[in-house]
């Protein structure tokens, strides 16, 4: 949700930041901007739309220091004026910001009374002007920035530069929004960004800023922790990700590249440290109440986990959307265990749920794809999914990695870890087949029949119900078709009223519940629905059958893959961007 970049070093800041910003565009892509320090003050560009008009930056003079931003609008419409960077009234201070300044209206009023003028509708614009306000009172840039934070309520990551006061200097501040520093390979070279993929081409050595850290980046790096009011030393970590993993390679879109990587990812999950899996399973066994929390696709993985734990490990677990979780906190005790699942590890609602759990004394565990993320640092224990960077806004490979981790946990809890590992290993070849050219072509034909549809319904029972939910989410996110999923049994309680002649319905089946779900398919068919069956056996109820072999608990991993392909093909046919759907951002760092 908004991507930030800052650069200091021997390279041309504009070109370097532009490529970094492109790698960060999955965080927001409605508008963007860059500002660099020059001998004649701050030079900048701002554009509406996706980053692409590289020609517009050619006018920027060469510089060794700059900041950049790709926006996902929260306050203020998508306009050039609202794009970042934002400037102080004296044009000496430039700021990029991710997050929300909750008290911005009161602060704007205060600054207006002091004679400041505002040129955008954003909350961000009060930041450079509050800094200017303090500089007018005689404080230097760093001290004025520190003092400004006392006026800013909310969550934010900020990077700022000043035109005159040490031109080769950036200030970076983190409060409840991610910010990471990249230690460049060149002498005196630093990057600062919302997320590691931004500078993965340049360095894998990083420092994750902690809550309330203020970093002064000039020829050296100095970090103060504002809550402790002391200088702190933060560890340099080495990121295991390979820059090639964050590139499209021969694929047209990250979406398809990441779908195609799923067999390999199951292999990586199988190799996760078994001692860690065992220890986490022990925590689950000991707990009085296991509760999963998450948002979006990760929420569907949680729900799938609840079914898998029940059937494989005979364990009861609950699931709540992370944003709803606080309403149930009175049930929590120090014996409760809250497990948060999040690809990014930065989803504000999920972090909030973990903080609520901790405030009630509960134990917390996270399953995330992002090493060093806020979630991994704030929860007591973490399992890293090892899916590699996921760039497409839609979760695909990280979703299946989450399912695979949950499968391992369930089998370990049942005392059958070897069986769980064997089951996942057995899937690898089959997933290569499910993502093969042959299957893609077959799914493309089905997509051609559905391309003009406006409504689509999906049903499943048992583990196939979360799969239906996730498939519906994939389709609606990227094709803008209204796709809605229901538990098969719910159909006759209202939903069936929506079915008319030709309404496409996708029915997920498994051998365990075949009879019941086929009855539901028949009920749909009797009302004229066009039925696409997904499962191990064909049936006369189906107009089209997508064969996916029976794999019991692993059905959730296998059956979602053709649905990811269907969503992709529909997006292409309907002229939608599969990697960057409208209005969405990959990492939702606001509540």
- In the complex with ligand G6P, the residue whose CB is nearer, 50 or 147, is 50
In the complex, least distance from residue 588 CB atom to ligand G6P, rounded to whole angstroms: 5
CA dihedral 400, 406, 407, 409 (to 10 degrees): 150
Q: Computed from CA positions of residues 543, 547, 552, 557, in that sequence, does the dihedral angle turn out positive or negative?
A: negative
- In the complex with ligand G6P, the residue whose CB is nearer, 25 or 125, is 25
Q: Which residues bind ligand G6P (CB under 6 A)?
A: 295-298, 342-344, 347, 350, 393-395, 584, 586-588
Q: Where are the alpha helices (DSSP H) in 261-295?
A: 262-270, 274-286
Which helix (H) or strand (E) segment holds residue 13: the answer is helix 13-23
Does residue 431 contact residue 403 with C-beta atoms inside 8 Å? Answer: no
Q: Tokens 């499209």 label which residue?
A: 248
Q: Tokens 């504000």 label which residue?
A: 348
- In the complex with ligand G6P, the residue whose CB is nearer, 393 or 472, is 393
50 is catalytic: no
- In the complex with ligand G6P, the residue whose CB is nearer, 3 or 66, is 3
In the complex, least distance from residue 245 CB atom to ligand G6P, rounded to whole angstroms: 17
Which stretches of 176-243 are assigned E, i.e. beta strand?
Answer: 180-183, 190-193, 205-208, 213-217, 221-225, 230-232, 237-238
In the complex, least distance from residue 343 CB atom to ligand G6P, rounded to whole angstroms: 3
Q: Is 540 exposed, middle or buried (0-12, 13-18, 19+ CB in 10 A)?
A: exposed
Candidates 392, 547, 586, 591; catalytic one: 586
Strand duo 3-8 + 180-183: pairing: unpaired
| Rounded Cα–Cα distance for residues 402 and 148 (Å) | 41
In the complex, least distance from residue 296 CB atom to ligand G6P, rounded to whole angstroms: 3
- In the complex with ligand G6P, the residue whose CB is nearer, 250 or 583, is 583
| Rounded Cα–Cα distance for residues 591 and 586 (Å) | 14
Say which DSSP state 310 is in.
Answer: I
In the complex, least distance from residue 74 CB atom to ligand G6P, rounded to whole angstroms: 14
Name the residue with the smallest CB distance to ligand G6P.
296
| Rounded Cα–Cα distance for residues 459 and 436 (Å) | 26
- In the complex with ligand G6P, the residue whose CB is nearer, 351 or 529, is 351
In angstroms, what CA-CA distances link 511 with 296, 330, 488, 538, 558? 28, 40, 15, 11, 14
For residue 171, what are its two tokens? Answer: 């200030």
In the complex, least distance from residue 462 CB atom to ligand G6P, rounded to whole angstroms: 22
In the complex, least distance from residue 321 CB atom to ligand G6P, rounded to whole angstroms: 10
For residue 290, what are its two tokens? Answer: 């296991």
In the complex, least distance from residue 303 CB atom to ligand G6P, rounded to whole angstroms: 13
- In the complex with ligand G6P, the residue whose CB is nearer, 63 or 344, is 344
- Report the Cα 437 to chain-centroid distance in Å: 28
| Rounded Cα–Cα distance for residues 189 and 183 (Å) | 7
586 is catalytic: yes
Candidates 2, 20, 558, 576; catalytic one: 2
- In the complex with ligand G6P, the residue whose CB is nearer, 345 or 504, is 345
| Rounded Cα–Cα distance for residues 398 and 560 (Å) | 12
Please give the positions annotated as active site: 2, 586
């Amino acid at each position: 949700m908004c991507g930030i970049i800052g650069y200091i070093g021997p390279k041309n800041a504009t070109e370097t930041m532009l490529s970094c910003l492109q790698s960060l565009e999955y965080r927001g892509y409605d508008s963007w901007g860059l500002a660099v320090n020059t001998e004649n003050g701050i030079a900048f560009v701002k554009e509406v739309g996706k980053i692409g008009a590289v020609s517009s930056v050619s006018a920027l003079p060469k510089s060794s220091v700059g900041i950049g931003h790709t926006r996902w609008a929260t306050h203020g419409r998508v306009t050039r004026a609202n794009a970042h960077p934002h400037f102080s009234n004296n044009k000496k201070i430039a700021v990029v910001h991710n997050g929300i300044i909750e008290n911005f209206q009161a602060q704007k009023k205060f600054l207006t009374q002091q004679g400041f003028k505002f040129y955008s509708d954003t909350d961000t614009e009060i930041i450079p002007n509050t800094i200017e306000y303090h500089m007018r009172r005689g404080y230097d840039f760093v001290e004025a920035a520190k003092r400004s934070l006392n006026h800013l309520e909310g969550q934010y990551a900020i990077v700022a530069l000043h035109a005159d006061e040490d031109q080769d200097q950036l200030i970076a501040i983190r409060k409840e929004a991610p910010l990471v520093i990249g230690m460049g390979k060149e002498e005196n070279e630093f990057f600062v960004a919302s997320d590691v993929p931004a500078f993965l081409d340049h360095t894998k050595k990083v420092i994750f800023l902690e809550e309330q850290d203020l970093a002064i980046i000039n020829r050296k790096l100095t970090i103060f922790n504002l809550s402790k009011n002391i200088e702190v030393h933060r560890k340099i970590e080495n990121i295991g990700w390979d820059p090639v993993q964050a590139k499209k390679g021969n694929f047209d879109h990250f979406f398809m590249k990441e779908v195609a990587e799923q067999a390999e990812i199951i292999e990586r999950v199988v190799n996760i440290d078994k001692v860690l899996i065992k220890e986490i399973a022990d925590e689950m066994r000991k707990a009085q109440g296991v509760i999963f929390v998450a948002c979006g696709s990760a929420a569907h993985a949680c729900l799938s986990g609840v079914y898998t734990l029940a059937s494989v490990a005979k364990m009861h677990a609950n699931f709540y959307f992370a944003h709803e979780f606080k309403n149930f906190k009175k049930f929590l005790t120090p014996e409760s265990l809250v497990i948060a699942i999040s690809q990014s590890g930065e989803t504000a609602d999920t972090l909030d749920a973990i903080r609520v759990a901790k405030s009630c004394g509960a134990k917390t565990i996270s399953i995330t794809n992002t090493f060093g993320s806020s979630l991994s640092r704030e929860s007591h224990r973490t399992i890293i999914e090892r899916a590699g960077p996921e760039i497409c806004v839609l979760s695909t490979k990280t979703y299946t990695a989450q399912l695979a981790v949950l499968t391992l946990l369930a089998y370990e809890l049942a005392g059958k870890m070897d069986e769980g590992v064997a089951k996942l290993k057995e899937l690898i070849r089959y997933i290569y087949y499910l993502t093969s050219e042959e299957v893609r072509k077959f799914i493309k034909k089905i997509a051609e029949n559905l391309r003009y549809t406006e409504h689509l319904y999906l049903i499943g029972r048992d583990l196939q119900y979360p799969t239906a939910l996730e498939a519906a989410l994939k389709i609606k996110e990227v094709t803008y078709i209204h796709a809605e999923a229901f538990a098969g049994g719910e159909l006759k309680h209202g939903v069936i009223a929506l079915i008319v002649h030709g309404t496409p319905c996708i029915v997920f089946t498994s051998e365990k519940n075949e009879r019941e779900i086929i009855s539901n398919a028949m009920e749909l068919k009797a009302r004229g629905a066009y039925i696409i069956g997904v499962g191990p056996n064909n049936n006369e109820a189906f107009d089209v059958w997508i064969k996916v072999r029976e794999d019991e608990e692993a059905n959730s991993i296998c059956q979602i893959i053709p649905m990811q392909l269907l969503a992709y093909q529909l997006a292409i046919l309907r002229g939608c961007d599969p990697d960057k759907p409208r209005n969405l951002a990959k990492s939702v760092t606001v509540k």
